[in-house]
A = this chain, B = another copy of it.
Amino acid sequence: MKPASVDVLGEARHASPLPEARFPQPGPCGAVGEAVVPALTAWPGGRMPDDLLLFERAGPRQQLYFEPSKTRAAIVTCGGLCPGLNNVIRSVTRELLLSYGVPSVLGIVGGYRGLDPSRGEPPVELTEDFVEDIHHDGGTVIQTSRGPVDLKVAVDFLRERKIDILFTVGGDGTQRGAKALWDEARAQGYELSVVGIPKTIDNDVRHVERTFGYATAVMEAVHVIRSAHTEARSVSNGVSVVKLMGRHAGFIAAGATVASQEVNFCLVPEQPFALEGEGGFLAALERRLQRKDHAVVVVAEGAGQEHLESSGGRDASGNLLLGDIGLFLRDAIDRYFKTRGVEAVVRYIDPSYLIRGCPANTEDALLCDRLGRLAVHAAMSGRTGMVISYLNGQFAHVPIDMISGGGRQLEPAGELWRAVLSATGQPPQFQKE
């Protein structure tokens, strides 16, 4: 049983400049360098599974591959906004400059586009002053964009600037692009460390228990749900529909439902639902109104796609363009009650752009700081082609390949979805009959 194998650039020969006190001693928790983290912590049958996956524990290493005083690093942020981007940028920069004494950290401007001089702006030098207060702001001070970059152009760009380490902050597509950059660099014999910090507000990355931005998204969603609840309660037969983020997984919808305790129906991509029929959503909603005179519906953007015709188009990140389930649902509810002769008051709120741009809350601030600093430790040790993951109470190194190709979803009989069912009182499934 060995931990998932992480690529390394070569032997780590340089002593770390970090003070001795920062390295765990051998003991109950083990010295960092040799500890592992189990991928699963719910073990059926009362014992450790035979095929249990293990990951390297993240942390500073006493021997480094890169000599700090000669190392140059860069960081890039890609894809949609997510609370905490600036926190990550700041902690990566400060750990490099202040803890390791690395002389230069570049901010690539505008996502991968910034690695192509013909398309983007030149990078900015990230200094202690530059990053001082950026964690108070949402968004990303080095901007972002969607879409890939020509690999050869990008590797040339990095090589010319003698970049040793590239930190990639982005989602699945970004990390696959990061892996491709590392493959291309390796093919050229260019010793580039590429270390990713997974970014998805949806919290749906495999082998990652919690991605940054998720906690803030839930917090802001709860604020919106409170207004939605108020709107619904303040009239007769009030129905508020709130659309939340979640393309393939309903973690935000579920988390906000359980945290607010004011949602009566939570619809997620993992659970297709029937609209019509006695067992369908609309009839359940009508029964709720009869009993309580109001209802709050939360729907993840990726839910109910079976009811929509997709255009088949894709955005610049390659994501399939989803039909708008929020507007669809609002109209379906409106129509249903008109048909039934019920005077319902339906309100619709789509707070996505409000939520994505918020500054990180303290929970995410804590997470981002550690993800950023641990990414620096991994890269300085010569690791590459990997991401930092918070997992089962620890931070671990996960090879990029292992997070690609299909994300995490809500388990239908898992603890969080059970909490949703208890909080809403909704039936386990909406079926035609």
Task: List chain A positions with a Cβ less than 8 A from chain B.
Answer: 1-3, 19, 21-31, 34-38, 40-48, 52, 54, 57, 59-60, 81, 85, 90-91, 94-95, 98-99, 110, 121, 133, 135-140, 143-145, 209, 215, 218-219, 222-224, 226-231, 233-236, 240, 255-256, 258-261, 347-351, 353-358, 361-363, 365-366, 369-370, 373, 391-395, 411-415, 418-419, 421-423, 425, 427-429
List 22 A-B residue pairs with CB atoms under 8 Å apart, sorted by A's residue number.
A1-B47, A21-B413, A21-B421, A21-B428, A24-B411, A31-B44, A35-B43, A42-B394, A90-B261, A135-B261, A143-B236, A215-B362, A218-B362, A218-B363, A224-B354, A234-B357, A259-B366, A348-B353, A350-B350, A369-B422, A370-B415, A393-B393
Taking a contact as CB atoms under 8 Å apart, the answer to whether B366 and A429 are in contact is no
A47-B36, A369-B261 given; A413·B25 CB < 8 A:
yes
Taking a contact as CB atoms under 8 Å apart, the answer to whether A24 and B414 are in contact is yes
The residue in chain B whose Cβ has the minimal distance to the Cβ of A411 is B29
Among B41, B138, B230, B362, the residue within 8 A (CB) of A393 is B41
A40-B28, A42-B37, A45-B30 given; A428·B19 CB < 8 A:
yes
C-alpha spacing A258/B87, complex, angstroms: 11
Across-interface contacts of A259 in B (CB, < 8 A): 362-363, 365-366, 369
Taking a contact as CB atoms under 8 Å apart, the answer to whether A353 and B227 are in contact is yes
C-alpha spacing A99/B424, complex, angstroms: 11
Taking a contact as CB atoms under 8 Å apart, the answer to whether A418 and B138 are in contact is no
Taking a contact as CB atoms under 8 Å apart, the answer to whether B231 and A353 are in contact is yes
Taking a contact as CB atoms under 8 Å apart, the answer to whether B234 and A81 are in contact is yes
C-alpha spacing A233/B363, complex, angstroms: 24
The residue in chain B whose Cβ has the minimal distance to the Cβ of A81 is B234
Taking a contact as CB atoms under 8 Å apart, the answer to whether B215 and A139 are in contact is no
Taking a contact as CB atoms under 8 Å apart, the answer to whether A44 and B29 are in contact is yes
Across-interface contacts of A98 in B (CB, < 8 A): 422, 425
Across-interface contacts of A255 in B (CB, < 8 A): 362, 366
Across-interface contacts of A3 in B (CB, < 8 A): 46
Taking a contact as CB atoms under 8 Å apart, the answer to whether A354 and B356 are in contact is no
Among B144, B228, B418, the residue within 8 A (CB) of A353 is B228
Taking a contact as CB atoms under 8 Å apart, the answer to whether B391 and A393 are in contact is yes
Across-interface contacts of A59 in B (CB, < 8 A): 415, 418
Copies in the complex: 4
The residue in chain B whose Cβ has the minimal distance to the Cβ of A294 is B143
Taking a contact as CB atoms under 8 Å apart, the answer to whether A233 and B1 are in contact is no
Across-interface contacts of A361 in B (CB, < 8 A): 219, 361
C-alpha spacing A409/B389, complex, angstroms: 24
Across-interface contacts of A44 in B (CB, < 8 A): 26-31, 34-35
Taking a contact as CB atoms under 8 Å apart, the answer to whether A42 and B19 are in contact is no
Enumerate the 7 nearest inter-chain pairs by beta-carbon distance, A residue then B residue, closest first.
A30-B44, A227-B357, A21-B428, A230-B357, A139-B234, A139-B230, A259-B362
C-alpha spacing A370/B34, complex, angstroms: 34
Among B21, B40, B347, the residue within 8 A (CB) of A429 is B21
Taking a contact as CB atoms under 8 Å apart, the answer to whether B136 and A136 are in contact is yes
Across-interface contacts of A353 in B (CB, < 8 A): 227-228, 231, 240, 347-349
Across-interface contacts of A228 in B (CB, < 8 A): 353-354, 357
Taking a contact as CB atoms under 8 Å apart, the answer to whether A412 and B21 are in contact is yes
A47-B1, A231-B357, A234-B140 given; A258·B411 CB < 8 A:
no
C-alpha spacing A230/B229, complex, angstroms: 24
Across-interface contacts of A418 in B (CB, < 8 A): 22, 59-60, 373
C-alpha spacing A275/B427, complex, angstroms: 51
Taking a contact as CB atoms under 8 Å apart, the answer to whether B356 and A227 are in contact is yes
Across-interface contacts of A133 in B (CB, < 8 A): 133, 137
C-alpha spacing A209/B353, complex, angstroms: 33
The residue in chain B whose Cβ has the minimal distance to the Cβ of A21 is B428
Taking a contact as CB atoms under 8 Å apart, the answer to whether B422 and A94 are in contact is yes
A28-B40, A347-B353, A349-B353 are known contacts; what are 18 more A-B pairs with Cβ within 8 Å? A1-B47, A30-B42, A35-B43, A36-B46, A41-B392, A60-B418, A81-B234, A85-B234, A90-B261, A137-B230, A138-B227, A139-B234, A219-B361, A222-B362, A231-B356, A231-B357, A240-B353, A351-B351
